[in-house]
Amino acid sequence: MTSKIILLVEDNPNDEALTLRALRKSGVTNHVVVAHDGAEALDYLFCTGPHTERAPADMPAVVLMDLNLPKIGGIEAVRRIRENAETKLLPVVILTSSDEEEDRLRGYQVGANSYVRKPVEFHKFVAAVQQLGLYWLLLNEPTPPNRAPNRRNDSLDGIRTPDPSP
């Protein structure tokens, strides 16, 4: 993979355009794949449906996930991403206009790496997207390939933990 891919999961065409514009304006030139609902995002990540030809190794560097999506909502999509061994450690940032405490709590409970509320003012939104891009695409060190734990009793740090069954 030559460039880090961003998976943007956004159903609102205006928010999609705003996010893409903010990414460009902040200097992020990475390829952005857009999914318009949670089901489409999961198809992309799991190489199913219309994405069966996608190379499974070409995972996005980060998923920017809206919450209120058709078909499969953002919280449920994150939960499914975390249940799969291939995507368990994939960085997922909830990028939403929701300021509900319950949404933040549920997002973190299902395994989101970050929860970012979309600012209303465009210049503040550009600044937020710029910070997201800087961190997740340049500073963050991704999980080494084929190193995600794939057994139930493997811990996230790669140290085998005792099997809880007697």
- Tens digits of residue pLDDT in 108-123: 999 999 999 988 888 8
Q: Which residues pair with 65 in a beta bridge?
A: 9, 94
Q: Residue 146 — very low, low, confident or very high, per pLDDT cuts 50/70/90?
A: low
Q: Residue 145 — very low, low, confident or very high, per pLDDT cuts 50/70/90?
A: low
Whole-angstrom Cα distance, residue 23 to residue 39? 24
Report pLDDT for 153.
43
Whole-angstrom Cα distance, residue 159 to residue 35? 35
Answer whether residue 155 shows pLDDT above 90: no
pTM score above 0.85: no
Whole-angstrom Cα distance, residue 13 to residue 70? 13
Mean pLDDT of 119-137: 87
Of 126 and 8, more confident: 8
- CA atoms within 13 A of residue 106's CA, in its CB half-sphere: 15
Mean pLDDT of 7-21: 94
